[in-house]
Amino acid sequence: MYKANVSFICAIAAFILFIDHQKTIGAVAVERVKRADGEKYTTKYDNIDIDRILTNERLFKNYKNCILDKGKCTPDGQELKKHLGDALATECMKCSEIQKKNAGKILSFILQNHRDFWNQLLEKYDKEGNFRRKYEDGADDYEDK
């Protein structure tokens, strides 16, 4: 009878530990979701007309100068500059889908049309060469126009 009580108590203790462990796992999962959601970049500027900026030499130059610390920044330019290094390093992990699409369009445009700007971006945001090694395969096919 004593062995039965010990087994029963051990079973209950194991059950309590299991339930407590499940609560901890659930809390950790909820915290990860909260952190992942909280770590996204603002979508406040997702509706900016990227094509207009890329095709307007004056606008493009203003953004370029902002990013390279050579000119004033608009609020959206300041936001871009603030997160650009992190976005490049993390493959835009914190980006919205619109931001990811626009980033691809912008980087492609810069590689094809403004190779000097591309090199300046890498000098500023990729001092260790990680981004260059990861993404620049085939970029030598592009020439500055």
Residue 135 pLDDT more than 90?
A: no
pLDDT digits (tens, 9 = 90+) for 29-65: 444 444 445 589 999 999 999 999 999 999 999 999 9
What values do phi and psi take at 85, rounded to 5?
A: -60, -45
Answer with the residue of higher pLDDT: 82 or 140: 82
Domain limits of the chain? Answer: 1-39, 50-141
Structure pTM?
Answer: 0.65
Instruction: Assign domain 50-141 to a CATH class.
Output: mainly alpha
CB–CB of 90/83 below 8 Å?
no
Would you state the torsion angle of the CA atoms of residues 45, 51, 56, 61, taken in this order, to the nearest 10 degrees?
Answer: 50
pLDDT digits (tens, 9 = 90+) for 12-22: 544 554 444 44
Which tokens sit at 62?
């203003």
By the 10 Å C-beta count (0-12 exposed, 13-18 middle, 19+ buried), 2 is classed as exposed
